[in-house]
Structure 1
């Protein structure tokens, strides 16, 4: 492919240039200096262009190579039977069909770490490509007390071998990622991925997965240590919880419609007052009639013999 050195689609990633030159010679029956040879090379490049976007897992590179080589063999077998462009399209279609049968590649998981399982082979460049993440993770802040026991874990969201070595380190009184400032700590051989710290001190704890000379990931924990007691904190939390529950347990007093009640009482009093006045009037009228009747009876009595 000396005539098109800048093009590297999948169809041209595998096999030496002499093999492709022989393929075009067998297809066209022409030698390298013949225009038909150049036309054949250009046809190969054009047919393979759609494959430039293909990526497969690094472990699938050999499978991809076999798929491409099978397509090249198919082209040789079909020479003279069909037009070259038609044969190339059939070969590319077969490649796509086989690619769809390959397993999915694990995605890169941010924000940090070298992730070998997510390494891919990129057809556009005919090369292996890794996740573009930094090796060191951002510093994670942790808050604790001087008398509290804490457990740090060097776990990651992607797959790593369980036999991977783990190194724990500490930089006192510093918030840093400068590895020259750390001193190695003694971890637990039975549980290498975790570190138990009693009576923590301020500073940065780091864990390194993999060999120190070739790490996969480094995690950092900055310990913000308070001089208070964890028991005092628990006591304050208990008091606060008691007060909070006490407030929630009180039976709520029903809302009294004060204004409405006052109006109701006033209206009832007014009605009662009217009733009382009416009764008084009735009594007065009754008494007045009775008195008038008694006067008439007395007059009649005095006139009688």
Structure 2
């Protein structure tokens, strides 16, 4: 874009004075006007920046300042904002140590952990050191909760520090929350459960009336059969006790069976 502006100012002068002889003051006047027009048009252009907010020391993103003849750094802090992650117990979770700006070759990555939400360096202890940007937990447990810090080094100079705060929800707490939710819905007027939206994480399944009727019928039938068997057994016992001969025969049969 700068090249287009420059050519638009210079080429008309070149064509106008081609193969002509003029006083020096004429060239000076025309070139000075072209320079002023170029500066005014260039100042309205958007400045390309290699800085990627909101954090990290980005040497390659420095922009050259034509007024001071120096490179202006991105001036972002090393510490990135904390990102919160919530995962249920026994589930896997992963955290990435990635940045949107280019890193120098041979960068080193250090993962640290603190049991609380903090950004103070003295509260962390080292977990891993290497070049792997991924920190993976295959089965999260409550003791995995806390703040995880990923720090990227290059030639012993810190480039960026990324933070994750992990919350692991225990299964016992999750079960209590489900029961509490069901209990609170049961206390609604008439014991009616409100319709669940697709966003509800734990939908409550209510059987259809036909299935419910079939189950109740089978249950009552089983109860009646049980009562019938108990009644038949009680009649058999009463008959044996009321007939001595039958009782004697039953006793003899018992002896025969034992022999």
Provide the TM-score with structure 1 as the length reference. 0.43
Greater C-alpha Rg? 1
